[in-house]
Structure 1
Amino acid sequence: MDAPSAPPTQAPPLQAHVADGLAGAIGNTPLIRLRRASEATGCEILGKAEFMQPGGSVKDRAGLGIIEDAERRGQLVPGEPGIVVEGTAGNTGIGLTLVANARGYRSIIVVPHTQSREKLDFLRMIGADLRLVDPKPLRDPGHYVNTSRRIAEELAAKGERVIWANQFGNLANAAIHEATTGPEIWAQTAGRVDAFTCACGTGGTLTGVARALKARNPKLRIVLADPMGSGMYSWIKTGEVKAEGNSITEGIGQASAVPGNLEHGRDSIDDALQVTDPEALEQIFELQQHEGISVGGSAGINVAAAIKLARQMGPGHTIVTILCDGGARYQSKIFNPEFLRERGLPVPPWLA
């Protein structure tokens, strides 16, 4: 057998720190310099690699924060039976279910059946009691959020120890990002960060990070990234929720109502940017093909917004965004050429 052409990469030395269970493994994700975006803009564009969380997304933080808050309030008691109920596009349900499993609770997760098959399969695999519903507007009693609240109320009326996680209105969501994600970004950049941008699903990540960073540098720029079909761009710009167009992205953007977590952080948000599906897909496919970083639709929105923001601000700035989850969660959609062609969206060469 021929000798290897070069010695193998040395493994890093073992660290003394050992995470204490699942909760101890959530957080402290790396910042990744996005080379092509940085070179194209003359800025340092950095992505917080939340796809490296134990459950595969930024929503692991929300799941931990919401359940720990419920325990502090006595609504759940570790070691005793309890139920966590939530309506979600998928990733928050995964984070909640994994933390609930680690704490000994059951989880009931209500999801629109239109969400990616990969997320639904993962929820079933990890033991969630998955309830699929038809997609409905928020005002409809059958909307997934309203359905989950009703299930929680019915269980509570039967005497069960249960919480409705309420990720959109539960401020424990933003609080964990203010306590962890924002300070991590500040430390990882040694305070040399000029702007932060990310999309809003519940508003927890944007609000929490904004509050943490603004507390350390009030001049730091915070910008909401919004897909088409969402009214949050209009709300930031005009005060009115007005949605136009549509998007294939899942779990971000709100067409008709401002989430409580986002309202809570409005004073910390300086501006908003809109991103189209083709703009997001271009970044997703380029990151995968040229940098080996596989991400989902919301991360594509975020990176495209970071590039737009960098061009507004000019060269020499450092801009941070969130790489929310991995591309494998969307193989049946944004990496499915038939799905893309049906919607007139670009298909990457390696899939065509």
Structure 2
Amino acid sequence: MSHDGVQGSVLDLVGNTPLVRLRRLTAGLAAQVLVKLEYLNPGGSVKDRAALEMVRAAEAAGLLRPGSTIVEGTSGNTGTGLAQAAAVLGYRCLVVLPNTVAVEKVDVLRAYGAEIVQTRSNLPREHPEHVMNLATRLAAERPGGWLAHQYDNPANPAAHRRTTGPEIWAQTGGRVTHLVSGIGTGGTITGTGAYLKEVSGGRVTVVGADPATSVYHGGDGSPFLVEAAGHYRHPDTAADVWPLSYDPAVVDRIEAIPDRESVLTTRRLAAEEGILVGGSSGLAVAAALRTARGLGADATVVAILPDSGRAYLSKYHSTDWLRRTGFLDGDRPDLLAERIPDRAVVTVTPDTTLRAATELAAEVGDAQPVLPVVLAGRSPRFPTAGSEILGALDVPRLRAGLVPGDPDAAITVPPGAPVTVGTGETVAEALARTAGADVLHVLRDGRLAGVLTRASLTARPLQRS
């Protein structure tokens, strides 16, 4: 509680974030686009709201007591909100993270005193080391452990029905016509959207922003590079369970946004609007700009920007990372397009049989030195192959019958991580960074786009008409 302008604790600062009008990114649009800067919460993200609501609800229910440990599986932001609350309220905090989250998030959690356990990101939902399964087990094993479980905790959407929705309605004077929000656990869009629809008598349109491969809008479920949004489905997952925090009935439609559009919009927000945010914010703004096109001057589109770009300085705001992953390449000759003919890379998946892989190798011939083994994709050919490259099978050895194994059994994935380069790197940069590697997997927008040999990288580029 505040007294004479002094807050009782940092938790009293959660919520009441400002709305800001976009000016340069909206050039040519009649509708106004407003963004809600959730990174101005004290923990740096919209997840401060749900984290605090879940903790307070658990205290009221007697689930959290002195000495308790708050446990959660998260991509980082909810963990930060919970760790912040734990630090203020005197609880311990244990956070389970996938090993793909930005390093800045890990450092922030450690600064708050959280215990961190990291696990692989590319595991099926039923695997015991999956983020949520591991968090559930650790909460049960830890004396006084309480699992926040944001995905199914009703306090998650309730936080946004109680705070975020009313704030937007008041800040716009009831003039909001469209809400745009990413869908991760679904709590933000469900709670905020439900409130705005109710208070407006159904006048507000709720638009979800979703990565292009997320299953929420019917994507193939393969990996995407925008953190804290979307729904990934491992190909070995038996039952695709959606969060109870997400009510699809609240959402009127979903805009599917490719990773490149999200990432480049994120960078434009910093460079043109002075708003430094993460990739899920770029996702939301890209969807908001699409939504605003064709609307009149009486429309007010509000997009929720979940977190700060300071949590992603090593990713979306790093020129080096963007070039290595092939997101930033428009200002340079394309490393891949100049060296191989236009065609889709031929891939296999871990369940491909040795016989099928051998037949593919015969078809490929000298066009590819290896058959990449990818986690996601429709075997044997998938133009936008999965971003999780697990290994590679040597094409000449396959063609010569030198790969041992049962022809009708699944292939054995060779050990060792394949070497990758990005379409945005120069030849000199790629060669210097991959010294000793003969085969290079080329990434565009973080996904496998082709395969080059070291020799082909140094060869004269193709002459195209």
Identify the TM-score tier after normalising by the shorter chain: 0.7 to 0.9
Aligned residues: CA RMSD: 1.9
SS of alignment partner, residue 37 of structure 1: coil
For residues 101 and 347 of structure 1, do their structure 2 counterparts lie closer, same or farther at Cα, with a shift above 3 Å needed? Answer: farther
List runs of 5+ in structure 1 lacking aligned partners: 1-14, 235-241
SS of alignment partner, residue 39 of structure 1: coil
2:129 to 132, 142, 162: 142
Aligned-partner Cα distance in 1 for 2:76–2:311: 10
For residues 245 and 314 of structure 1, do their structure 2 counterparts lie closer, same or farther at Cα, with a shift above 3 Å needed? Answer: farther
Q: CA deviation at 1:194?
A: 0.2
Equivalent residue for 1:308? 290
Q: CA deviation at 1:306?
A: 0.2
In the alignment, structure 1 residue 261 sits paired with structure 2 residue 249: no
Equivalent residue for 1:26? 14
For residues 244 and 144 of structure 1, do their structure 2 counterparts lie closer, same or farther at Cα, with a shift above 3 Å needed? Answer: closer
1:184 to 167, 174, 177: 167
Equivalent residue for 2:386? none
Aligned-partner Cα distance in 2 for 1:254–1:245: 9
Contact 2:269 2:282 in 1 (8 A): no
Equivalent residue for 1:151? 138
Contact 2:262 2:286 in 1 (8 A): yes
Task: Give the residue type in structure 1 aligned to 2:118.
Answer: L
Q: CA deviation at 1:348?
A: 9.4
Task: Give the residue type in structure 2 aligned to 1:85.
Answer: V
For residues 30 and 347 of structure 1, do their structure 2 counterparts lie closer, same or farther at Cα, with a shift above 3 Å needed? Answer: farther
For residues 162 and 41 of structure 1, do their structure 2 counterparts lie closer, same or farther at Cα, with a shift above 3 Å needed? Answer: same
User: Rg bigger for which structure?
Assistant: 2
SS of alignment partner, residue 123 of structure 1: helix
SS of alignment partner, residue 38 of structure 1: coil
2:215 to 214, 231, 246: 231
List runs of 5+ in structure 2 lacking aligned partners: 234-240, 332-423, 426-465
SS of alignment partner, residue 41 of structure 1: coil
Equivalent residue for 2:271? 289
- How do 1:321-332 residues align onto structure 2 when only pairs under 5 Å count? 321-332=303-314
Identity of matched residues, %: 39
Equivalent residue for 1:121? 107
Equivalent residue for 1:109? 95
Contact 1:306 1:320 in 2 (8 A): yes
In the alignment, structure 1 residue 82 sits paired with structure 2 residue 59: no
1:64 to 18, 36, 52: 52
Deviates more, 1:336-345 or 1:201-210: 336-345
For residues 82 and 288 of structure 1, do their structure 2 counterparts lie closer, same or farther at Cα, with a shift above 3 Å needed? Answer: same
Q: CA deviation at 1:314?
A: 4.4
Q: CA deviation at 1:40?
A: 3.3
In the alignment, structure 1 residue 161 sits paired with structure 2 residue 169: no
Task: Give the residue type in structure 2 aligned to 1:300.
Answer: G
- Specify which structure has the bigger relative contact order, considering alpha-carbon pairs within 8 angstroms and separated by 6 or more residues: 1
SS of alignment partner, residue 28 of structure 2: helix
Q: CA deviation at 1:58?
A: 0.6
In the alignment, structure 1 residue 173 sits paired with structure 2 residue 156: yes
* Number of aligned residues: 322
Contact 1:225 1:233 in 2 (8 A): no
- For 1:261-281, what per-residue CA distance to the aligned partner results, in whole angstroms no more than 9, with x for missing partners? 11xx22221111111122112
Aligned-partner Cα distance in 2 for 1:57–1:137: 28
Equivalent residue for 1:94? 80
Deviates more, 1:331-340 or 1:210-219: 331-340
Equivalent residue for 1:5? none
For residues 317 and 146 of structure 1, do their structure 2 counterparts lie closer, same or farther at Cα, with a shift above 3 Å needed? Answer: same
Q: CA deviation at 1:56?
A: 0.6
SS of alignment partner, residue 272 of structure 1: strand
Task: Give the residue type in structure 1 aligned to 2:144.
Answer: R
Equivalent residue for 1:6? none
- For 1:172-224, what per-residue CA distance to the aligned partner results, in whole angstroms no more than 9, with x for missing partners? 00001100000000000010000101111100100010111011111210011
Contact 1:281 1:346 in 2 (8 A): no
For residues 313 and 292 of structure 1, do their structure 2 counterparts lie closer, same or farther at Cα, with a shift above 3 Å needed? Answer: same
Contact 2:69 2:91 in 1 (8 A): yes
Equivalent residue for 1:272? 254
Task: Give the residue type in structure 1 aligned to 2:255.
Answer: L
SS of alignment partner, residue 74 of structure 1: coil
Aligned-partner Cα distance in 1 for 2:150–2:272: 35
